[in-house]
Structure 1
């Protein structure tokens, strides 16, 4: 009899698989990565992977969400601090935290989004979530550091958050393009 996985163990296993997928996508590309590649990278069986993800599209979604969760934690901490960083400092911190493999996966996902409606939905959703988190950080900075009134800070933060998002995406693209896939090869 096979022991059942607890919910916590299932989430750890899903995260392990998603992290392996990010590494494979970053090294081989979305199109050239197979489930067999992810199986080898994760050290798990194909059955285990399919028990957690139905297909590669779900893995792409999980990989995108895993990256967003990392950024959400950082941005949430910034927004909650007594003295949130200003836009320039916030952008500098986000750029410093860019992982080249994750940047390559992000850019590849953007490319796939132009032809695959399911991937497009993921990209649009993740982009809007990231922009909303940036908006929260900028709003907190405007209120707590710049002493703006809370009722007007959100409106003022919107174009700043939009610019931050665009600059962050530009840095992701720059990082992806200057980081050849050969650098992760053994």
Structure 2
């Protein structure tokens, strides 16, 4: 049997994690089985277990993947010549919310209250997203509002906290109002 290259392994892991996200969104974390993920991914059970130890490992991978996507978006905003102001930043973030990912995010938050490993991932991811928002808002304060960097960083902290809270509220709102059959376009 041919061996998978590292790039191919990563593609396979992504394929499995994306299938898991779709299943989690449709069925919920608790009601999704490895058999569901196997059917959704089109891969064998052995392939799933070759890349992930168990369903909890898949939950963690799905959470990391979704947060990595958000991090890329926010990083692009911060690096722009003219970073968006906090209202525009929130507007862009909420416009990019995928209902499927929103449902899984909310379920993952719930899982974080009882699973220490998921808790650590959610807390770490939330802290990283808030730090990126802080950097983006700091860049806006420096580049657009012409604040000095030290004062901009200090002033950006409470703004980033509020933007993060409003973004999480929008994720929850999207998760609750969207039908579970909906798929990303």
What TM bracket, shorter-length normalisation? over 0.9
Per the TM alignment, residue 142 of structure 1 is displaced from its structure 2 partner at its CA by: 0.7
1:13 match: 12
Structure 2's unaligned 5+ residue stretches are none
Q: TM-score normalized by structure 2?
A: 0.96
Q: How does 1:37-186 map to 2 (within 5 A)?
A: 37-183=36-182
In angstroms, what is the RMSD of aligned CA positions? 1.0
2:29 match: 30
Residues in 2 aligned to 1:182 and 1:68: alpha-carbon distance in whole angstroms: 22
Per the TM alignment, residue 154 of structure 1 is displaced from its structure 2 partner at its CA by: 1.1
115-124 vs 7-16, greater mean Cα deviation: 115-124
Residues in 2 aligned to 1:183 and 1:50: alpha-carbon distance in whole angstroms: 28
Structure 1's unaligned 5+ residue stretches are none
Q: Deviations over 1:49-69 (max 9, x none)?
A: 111111111111111111111
Per the TM alignment, residue 140 of structure 1 is displaced from its structure 2 partner at its CA by: 0.7
Per the TM alignment, residue 48 of structure 1 is displaced from its structure 2 partner at its CA by: 0.7
Residues in 1 aligned to 2:69 and 2:153: alpha-carbon distance in whole angstroms: 24
Per the TM alignment, residue 183 of structure 1 is displaced from its structure 2 partner at its CA by: 3.9
Residues in 1 aligned to 2:84 and 2:32: alpha-carbon distance in whole angstroms: 38
Runs of 4+ in 1 over 4 A off after TM superposition: none
Residues in 2 aligned to 1:140 and 1:56: alpha-carbon distance in whole angstroms: 39
Q: TM-score normalized by structure 1?
A: 0.95
Per the TM alignment, residue 182 of structure 1 is displaced from its structure 2 partner at its CA by: 3.9
Which secondary structure state, in structure 2, belongs to the residue aligned with residue 181 of structure 1? coil
Q: Deviations over 1:6-60 (max 9, x none)?
A: 1111111111111111100000000000111111111111111111111111111
| Count, aligned residues | 183
Q: Deviations over 1:144-164 (max 9, x none)?
A: 111111122111111000000
